[in-house]
Structure 1
Amino acid sequence: MMDVAAQAGVSQTTVSLVLNDAMGARLSHETRHRVLAAAKELGYRLIRRGPSRTSATSTGAIGFMADEFSTDPWCALALDGVREKAWEFGLTVSVAVTRGDAGMEQAAHAQFLNQPLLGLIYATIQTRRIEPTPALARLPVVLLNCYAADRSLPSIAPGEVLGGRMATKRLIQAGHTRIGLIEGETWMDAMRDRLKGYRQALASHEIPFDPHLVRPGNWEPSAGYAQTHELMKLRQPPTAIFCANDLMALGCFEALKELGKRIPEDVAVIGYDDREIAQFMRPPLTTMLLPHFEMGTLAVEYIIDHARRPEKRPAQIKVECPLVERASVQKMAAQ
């Protein structure tokens, strides 16, 4: 699948969606054609195993351990992807949530080791670096939304730099050069990478970086509201605002409406995450999709394809964050 992805110029997730003929995948006819043509040229054939005719539990299971499950939807979305893909292979999923408690994690590891697991998916709710414990080395493991500092374990994470670049590029393509950015907490990997992508997009279009257009936030609507007011007080206010998540975009919308600004006619807004609320904002929010469902399916594929054939260099996979077009960005009117 990686070879097909490289030849077709797409992600491994896209290859999986095309070859599995996934329902609801937002892929163009041209992209599907490129993937199918590359697979044919390389002689790759997808083996459709399907659910086992015998009891699924008799064929084994995959472990899924998460540090948190209820504060945000990301681990739940990843688990949905894990469960669906695992069942295609006749596998069930055994789940443990540790809430960051070292003792609970140790107990969960011990429980997993007593089961006939094909492998373990170790997930975190925030994209971050982890220090692998010795227990992780006792099972074939894939890190999900996290990574080891020495890259000694395979990992799957969102392509946040590319996501930040694509969000900013969408605003540039609409004709904007004064683009504000309302950040999340900058100690987080996700925010550092989204900022990096923002700066890369500006640089590649020869738009100077203006630090006054970058405002501190905290992922909450209140930050989007307050920092939008600060951005619009500038002598040259932005004509577009990139909010680093959808909740801050919600606050941004309220501030712009309070100031009498129309979205997107006066100020375009793009968000990030594609939370459910994004489609119900008025106008509906253009945003970037966090691909946790696809990450979960890839983690299962990796365990099945690679756990019993260890590689010298464990794969470090970045999954692209697709643009979700709605109505909060439009081409600027000629000045």
Structure 2
Amino acid sequence: MIDVAAEARVSQTTVSLVLNHADGARLSPETRQRVIKAAAKLGYQPVRRGGAPAASAATTIGFVCDELSTDPWTAIGLDGVREKAWSHGLTVTVMATRGDADMEAAALAQLAALPLAGLVYATINTRLIDAPAWASPAPLVLLNCHAAGGAFASVVPGEVAGGHAATDVLIRAGHRRIGYINGEASMEAARHRLRGYRQALATADLPFDPDLVREGNWEPLSGYEATRALMALAHPPTAIFCANDLMAVGCYEALRELGLRIPDDVAVMGYDDREIAQHLHPPLTTVLLPHFEMGSIAAEWLIDAAAGSPARPRQVKVECPIVMRKSV
């Protein structure tokens, strides 16, 4: 799906909507045709059995999440779970609790009464959580979160490696002074991406300069303000790595105001691969958050566990690949 999305210049979500014939989606006929042609060119066909659920006691996978609509990540992960489940004749039952403890307890109790193949417990932000009170023999896997002591299996993005890979792209392009605009330090994703940035510098034998690091809040305005501050340094960076694509939008605006060209004067790297990344001018080189693949792996882990297959690793870190465009 990543390859089809890149070929058609759309997001993974758009590919899924088109190839799963979601007629209610607000997509233009031209976009649908691009996706269909890209899938045909690459020989991609979603794997599914379709039809009735599998003839076994387990007919569904439960999916409990704190948020589903505030950002696209949980919905994309759910899409990965749904596709993998349906390929095995299983449906998915979804409950969003908005972090309400009483609602979560009720949701878990209701799901425990169903003929479950297993439960996916997902959070919109990657973080350490208290182990959910799961009173069912069905297996449980955590998606985009993890519990202390490995109480449950978990599937999370490889954020340190993603930050390292993004910085390495800039280093390989010849940059030696690389600014970094991070998100809020209280968030695990921000800490891990920064760690990857620092590791890449160390690997290339480049010094870490704290003046080149600015903390933002994931929103475009903070990317704009941090970029202005970085470019006001006596020795400004020749490349800026933004810890998410929305801050990169603000970075683009600040560089344009300063009369600087991307990537001729300053290269820009994003993170997330939001829909907007491909529509910036020039299109933004970024890092893909692999939520679809994470959801697919979580569902596969449950299906294997329910079938008594050999144990998988207790934590799976999924690669965050680079999406090369024109900003580096």
What is the TM-score when the length of structure 2 is the normalising length?
Answer: 0.83
Cα distance between partner residues in 2 of 1:274 and 1:104: 32
Q: Give the corresponding residue for 2:189.
A: 190
Q: Give the corresponding residue for 1:147.
A: 146
Instruction: Answer yes or no: is the 8 Å Cα contact 1:269–1:328 preserved in 2.
Output: yes
Q: Say if 1:77 and 1:136 are closer, same or farther in 2 by CA, change over 3 A.
A: farther
**SS of aligned partner of 2:142:** strand
Alignment of 1:24-173 (within 5 A): 24=4, 50-51=48-49, 54-55=52-53, 60-135=59-134, 138-173=137-172
Q: Give the corresponding residue for 1:305.
A: 304
Q: Counterpart of 1:150 in structure 2: which amino acid?
A: G
Report the Cα offset of residue 236 of structure 1: 0.4
Q: Give the corresponding residue for 2:232.
A: 233
Deviation by residue 1:198-247 (Cα, 9 ceiling, x = unmatched): 00000000000000000010000000000100000101000000000000
Instruction: Answer yes or no: is the 8 Å Cα contact 2:153–2:314 preserved in 1.
Output: yes
Report the Cα offset of residue 311 of structure 1: 7.0
1:205 matched to 2:204? The reply is yes
Q: What is the percentage of aligned positions where both structures have the same residue?
A: 61
Cα distance between partner residues in 1 of 2:116 and 2:279: 41
Deviation by residue 1:243-275 (Cα, 9 ceiling, x = unmatched): 000000000000000000000000000000000
Structure 2: gaps of 5 or more residues: 8-45
Cα distance between partner residues in 1 of 2:221 and 2:326: 23
**SS of aligned partner of 2:249:** helix
Instruction: Answer yes or no: is the 8 Å Cα contact 1:49–1:89 preserved in 2.
Output: no
1:264 matched to 2:244? The reply is no
Instruction: Answer yes or no: is the 8 Å Cα contact 1:57–1:92 preserved in 2.
Output: no
Instruction: Answer yes or no: is the 8 Å Cα contact 1:51–1:90 preserved in 2.
Output: yes
Instruction: Answer yes or no: is the 8 Å Cα contact 1:126–1:146 preserved in 2.
Output: yes
Report the Cα offset of residue 166 of structure 1: 0.3
Q: Say if 1:231 and 1:137 are closer, same or farther in 2 by CA, change over 3 A.
A: farther
Deviation by residue 1:5-53 (Cα, 9 ceiling, x = unmatched): xxxxxxxxxxxx8xxxx973879xxxxxxxxxxxxxxxxxxxx995265
Cα distance between partner residues in 2 of 1:172 and 1:49: 39
Q: Say if 1:129 and 1:307 are closer, same or farther in 2 by CA, change over 3 A.
A: farther
Cα distance between partner residues in 2 of 1:60 and 1:145: 24
Cα distance between partner residues in 2 of 1:221 and 1:26: 24
Report the Cα offset of residue 162 of structure 1: 0.3
Q: Counterpart of 1:234 in structure 2: which amino acid?
A: L
Cα distance between partner residues in 2 of 1:212 and 1:26: 35
**SS of aligned partner of 1:134:** coil
Alignment of 1:213-292 (within 5 A): 213-292=212-291
Alignment of 1:312-327 (within 5 A): 315-327=314-326
Q: Counterpart of 2:170 in structure 1: which amino acid?
A: L
Report the Cα offset of residue 135 of structure 1: 2.2
Report the Cα offset of residue 56 of structure 1: 5.5
Q: Counterpart of 1:142 in structure 2: which amino acid?
A: V
Cα distance between partner residues in 2 of 1:207 and 1:86: 46
**SS of aligned partner of 1:121:** strand
Cα distance between partner residues in 1 of 2:221 and 2:85: 40
Work out the number of aligned pairs and report it: 289
Report the Cα offset of residue 297 of structure 1: 0.5
Q: Counterpart of 2:229 in structure 1: which amino acid?
A: E
Q: Say if 1:260 and 1:23 are closer, same or farther in 2 by CA, change over 3 A.
A: closer
Q: Counterpart of 1:252 in structure 2: which amino acid?
A: C
Q: Give the corresponding residue for 2:10.
A: none
Q: Counterpart of 1:68 in structure 2: which amino acid?
A: E
Instruction: Answer yes or no: is the 8 Å Cα contact 1:152–1:313 preserved in 2.
Output: no
Report the Cα offset of residue 139 of structure 1: 3.2
Cα distance between partner residues in 1 of 2:67 and 2:260: 39
Report the Cα offset of residue 138 of structure 1: 4.6
Structure 1: gaps of 5 or more residues: 1-16, 28-47, 330-335
Cα distance between partner residues in 1 of 2:267 and 2:47: 46
Instruction: Answer yes or no: is the 8 Å Cα contact 2:105–2:133 preserved in 1.
Output: no
Q: Counterpart of 2:261 in structure 1: which amino acid?
A: R
**SS of aligned partner of 1:24:** helix
Task: Please identify runs of 4+ aligned residues in structure 1 that moved more than 6 A.
Answer: 310-313
Cα distance between partner residues in 1 of 2:3 and 2:252: 32
Q: Counterpart of 1:113 in structure 2: which amino acid?
A: A
